[in-house]
Structure 1
Amino acid sequence: MRFVIVTGMSGAGKATALKTLEDAGFFCVDNLPIQLIKRFAEIAYDEQIQVDDVAISVDIRSGRALSQLNSCLADIRREGMNYEILFIECSNATLVKRYKETRRNHPLSVKGGRIIDGINKERELIGFLKEEADYIIDTTNLLVREFKAELDKIFVQNEEYSNFIITVMSFGFKYGIPRDSDIVQDVRFLPNPYYDLELREKTGNDKEIQDYVMNCKEGPEYLEKFIDLITFLIPNYIKEGKNQLVISIGCTGGKHRSVTIANAVYARLQKSKYTVRIVHRDILKDSIVKKL
């Protein structure tokens, strides 16, 4: 049996996580009072009850009782009942945006106060749960379907999971560098298919463009050197406490060279133990601008 404690930042996606686990066959309870968690675990582990998997949501709504959670979890583990902690993380900027879009107040924001103050206070209060978490999923750059896919990997497919998500993003410099970039690469030194009229309307997702860009000495050589650099950096980022990495690869318009290289980097990193996603931010923008 799996006993999962779902927690994390308000607005990060805990409700989505709990609903996804419920759809996967877990018996789920939202906002279970701290004082009842140990008793709930005893019932769940009772062989006569025959519950397969359970998940409970615990967060800042517990109020002052949250300070009792550490001793409660220690008692549970002392009695031989195992549990897993899933912590849902999200950046401050994204959380503020989500709250403003829904016009909701943060649970810890003083009436009329700033949302960010409530978020910062919450981080302080639940920081101990993140330190103890078995799984950390940062939803800052994840689509809902991608978030659900990560949950499926962990709790349905039982795959090995690393608390580190890599986003490989292609972009066009003329549309600006992505603000959330951790690593930015400029591949405008590679041959540009734009000047071949037969290739201009195609993208880096097409084989013709990929062949054009990579059939030069610099393309494959750059890819090998860059993969070697990333391979060196990732463990050091993790050691410093990062749980996600955004690699932005840019060319002029974000349609040909950057898409080709981003796809190649994505394909290589998929062989690692980390979760990797691909985003082509500007791949269609040139076509849209022309129509306008």
Structure 2
Amino acid sequence: MTTAMQNGPVRLVLVTGPSGAGRSTAIHALEDLGFEAIDNLPLRLVPLLLDGPHPARPLALGIDPRNRDFSTAALLDLIERLAARPEIEPTVLYLDCREDVLIRRFSETRRRHPLAPAESPEVGIRRELGLLAQIRDRAEVLIDTSDINPHQLRGEIERWFAPDGAAGLALTVQSFSYKRGLPRGIDMVFDCRFLANPYWVPGLRVFDGRDPRVAAHVAADPRFGPFFDRVLDLTRLLLPAFAEEGKSHLSIAFGCTGGQHRSVALAETLAKALAEDGRQVSIRHRELDSQHNG
């Protein structure tokens, strides 16, 4: 048994996201919570850091796309290698933000974008969002900072990562399209392609599963109730067991054909039920988000 395992797994939070989304604020908030924070560490040095003496505190590492050894493939590979090590408990925290808000923030500060110093901020923002799209899909915890201030972001960080773990196991519930394959890092997957598809209803096709009319159409399928009740019961059964095993986060995904209607409605419904149970729940819709980010 390694020294790390003798002292328990190393809690590691990888913090990333586009410039202007609040990554530095998040890192400072984690440091205030007792994490040893290191910002802008080259990717090649992360394994060397973790192969050293067992850290006395949990680690928060800021991953900056501006770093010269950064690439999407390299970061994804690093995440997978860390997840395979039993002595490490990694969590990817992604600070998200809408493109229009990022543009406004750069305009207000009159800063040049680091990935487009000789071009407009819009060019750099879109370039960076493209680099990070797959990382966003892989993140266990996603915090959208578009409509919150730094103080509120600190509150969100405390809610997710405070040492006393006020709400215990953190959850991510998401939707996806089987056409694009399974999302990375998913623990539980449910296929809901057997439910009535709103896509074939002309008045519903243009909306997504967050629309009450679409959600009602999906829920009207007589198979919806028994299916959802069993998924919810199974989830409630397993959450304490995962927590007892020391797992800090759990990812649950619903898939359908296009990732627009049925899977979105199911993800929204489950997330709401778990939040009402007092659970920490982050929700995302892969296909809808990819449309929004262009």
Bucket of the pairwise TM-score, normalised by the shorter protein: 0.5 to 0.7
CA distance in 2, matches of 1:238, 1:51: 45
Residue 115 of structure 2 aligns with which residue?
108
Residue by residue over 1:68-92, the C-alpha shift from the partner in whole angstroms, topping out at 9 and shown as x without a partner, is: 2233333333343231100000000
Alignment of 1:50-89 (within 5 A): 50-66=55-71, 67-80=73-86, 81-89=88-96
Q: Bigger radius of gyration, 1 or 2?
A: 1
CA 1:240–1:124 in 2, change beyond 3 Å: closer, same or farther? farther
In structure 2, the gaps of 5 or more residues are: 1-9, 174-207, 220-253, 255-259, 283-294
Structural mapping, 1:159-174, within 5 Å:
159=167, 160-162=169-171
Q: How many residues align?
A: 190
Q: Percent identity?
A: 26
Q: State the Cα distance separating 1:105 from its structure 2 match.
A: 1.0
Deviation at 1:139, TM superposition (A): 0.4
Say whether residues 1:149 and 2:158 are aligned partners: no
Separation in 2 of the partners of 1:237 and 1:27? 42
Identify if the C-alpha distance between structure 1 residues 101 and 237 changes in structure 2 by more than 3 Å, giving closer, same or farther: farther
Q: Which residue of 1 aligns with 2:44?
A: 35
Per the alignment, in what secondary structure is the counterpart of residue 140 of structure 1?
A: coil
Residue 51 of structure 2 aligns with an amino acid whose one-letter code is E
- Equivalent AA in structure 2 for residue 62 of structure 1: N
Q: Offset of 1:136 from its aligned partner?
A: 0.4
Structure 2 counterpart of 1:10, one-letter code: S
- Output the TM-score relative to the length of structure 2: 0.54
Q: Which residue of 124, 145, 164 corresponds with 1:139? A: 145
Within 5 Å, give how 1:1-292 maps onto structure 2: 1-43=10-52, 46-47=53-54, 50-66=55-71, 67-80=73-86, 81-111=88-118, 113-156=119-162, 157-158=164-165, 159=167, 160-162=169-171, 239-240=263-264, 271=276, 273=279
Runs of 5+ unmatched residues, structure 1: 165-181, 183-224, 245-267, 277-292
CA gap 1:73/1:29 in 2 versus in 1, 3 angstroms:
same
Contact 1:6–1:87 at 8 Å: present in 2 too?
A: yes
Q: Deviations over 1:127-161 (max 9, x none)?
A: 22111101000001112222111111110042244
What per-residue deviation string (whole Å, max 9, x for no partner) do you get for residues 44-88 of structure 1?
xx44xx422110000211235324223333333334323110000
Question: 2:42–2:69: 8 Å Cα contact kept in structure 1?
Answer: no
2: CA distance, partners of 1:269 / 1:38: 35
3-state secondary structure, aligned to 2:21: coil
Deviation at 1:163, TM superposition (A): 5.1
CA contact (8 A) 1:41 1:76 kept: no
3-state DSSP class of the match of 1:4? strand
CA distance in 2, matches of 1:104, 1:237: 40
Q: CA RMSD in A?
A: 3.8
The amino acid that maps onto 1:71 is D
SS in 2 for 1:62: coil
- Corresponding letter in the other structure for 1:118: G
Counterpart residue identity of residue 108, structure 2: E
Show CA shifts across 1:11-61 (max 9, x none).
000000000000000000000011101111222xx44xx422110000211
TM-score, with structure 1 as normaliser: 0.55
Q: Distance in 1 between matches of 2:138 and 2:170?
A: 16
